Amino acid sequence: MMWTTELYLCRVTGVGSRSEFSAQTLSVLAALCAQPSQWQHGYALAGQTGLKSGTLYPILIRLADRGLVEACWQDEPAPGRPRRHLYRLTAGGLATATGALAAAARSAGRAGARARSGRGVAAPAVP
């Protein structure tokens, strides 16, 4: 007797729209938008966002790959310290970040309004 296993996959439809950026990425974009023309190093961005390096640096790499952030090496590090990578938004990155942050704020405002009005929140079941 031989057993076979079959796996069925289905497609989920009707899922609401998803933001282009995660909450963590939006926090990095917001930190970069605070001083868009200034070069910032990862340690300062980690302090502003509260993100750990294992989350922050992959986000910065993805943003750089998309052309939203430019990165360079620090020219003259402090004596006794290694050179650091510096980051800042590109012009296109600033426009994209501004739009994404505004959309996230609008979305959060709508979700808060629905919660305050009781719409969109399921009523608890009464036994």
- Domain at 87, CATH number: 1.10.10.10
Q: 5 Cβ partners below 8 Å, 6+ apart?
A: none
Number of domains in the chain: 1
Beta bridge partners of 55: none
Q: Judge contact between 63 and 25, C-beta under 8 A.
A: yes
82-118: pLDDT as tens digits: 888 899 999 999 999 999 999 999 887 776 666 666 6
61-86: pLDDT as tens digits: 999 999 999 999 988 777 888 888 89
Whether the full predicted model's pTM is greater than 0.95, yes or no, is: no
Question: Is 15 part of any domain?
Answer: no
Q: Judge contact between 88 and 37, C-beta under 8 A.
A: yes
Of the candidates 94, 104, 122, the one whose C-alpha atom is nearest the C-alpha of residue 19 is 104
Question: Is 52 part of any domain?
Answer: yes
Question: Is 41 part of any domain?
Answer: yes
What are the Cα distances from residue 75, in Å, to 27, 69, 82, 115? 27, 18, 11, 50
Domain enclosing residue 60, as ranges: 23-75+83-109
Q: Judge contact between 67 and 95, C-beta under 8 A.
A: no
C-alpha 19/C-alpha 25 separation (Å) is: 11
